[in-house]
């Protein structure tokens, strides 16, 4: 009987430690660790949040665009070696690109990858906060 109780307590303790180490509630949408906000253009902002991972030493960042009043739109998550670039196009459209850098033959090489285009007027009208 004592052995069974000891086994149950040990199993419960192991499960508690295992699940406390899991990354169950951390997500790419986490807004717990605000790093900075920069203005893109005329009250349109880029918000950057750091994402903590218990299983990786790689830093990850979630980025959003917002006007801070009527919408916040999740753009993407990226790691330390990447960053985003946004460009306002005609008709109030924001084009977002991910820039990835690496080294080839001892020279830095940058690739620009289109992520998405966002119509700011539509985002304001929809009024969603992600």
pTM: 0.68
Taking the C-alpha atoms of residue 51 and residue 89, their distance in angstroms, rounded to an integer, is 30
User: Tokens standing for 69?
Assistant: 């009043």
Contact 81, 102 (CB under 8 A): yes
pLDDT digits (tens, 9 = 90+) for 3-43: 444 444 444 443 333 333 334 344 556 677 899 999 988 88
**Mean pLDDT, rounded, of the chain:** 77
Q: Where are the domains of the chain?
A: 26-126
The pLDDT value recorded for residue 81 is: 73
Q: DSSP states of 48-70 as a string?
A: EEEE--SS--S-EEEEEEE-SSS
Return the number of other C-beta atoms located less than 10 Å from residue 70's C-beta. 14
pLDDT digits (tens, 9 = 90+) for 63-117: 999 999 999 999 988 887 787 778 888 888 999 998 888 778 888 888 888 989 9
Contact 67, 37 (CB under 8 A): no
């Amino acid at each position: 009987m004592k052995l069974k109780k000891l086994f149950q307590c040990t199993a419960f303790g192991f499960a508690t430690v295992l699940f406390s180490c899991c990354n169950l509630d951390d997500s790419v949408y986490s807004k717990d660790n605000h790093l900075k906000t920069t203005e893109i253009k005329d009250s349109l902002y880029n918000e950057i949040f750091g994402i903590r991972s218990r299983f990786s030493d790689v830093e990850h960042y979630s980025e959003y665009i917002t006007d801070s009043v009527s919408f916040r739109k999740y753009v993407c998550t990226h790691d330390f070696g990447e960053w985003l670039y946004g460009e306002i196009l005609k008709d109030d459209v924001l084009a977002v690109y991910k820039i990835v850098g690496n080294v080839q033959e001892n020279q830095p090489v940058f690739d620009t990858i289109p992520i998405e285009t966002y119509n700011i007027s539509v985002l304001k009208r929809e009024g969603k906060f992600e």
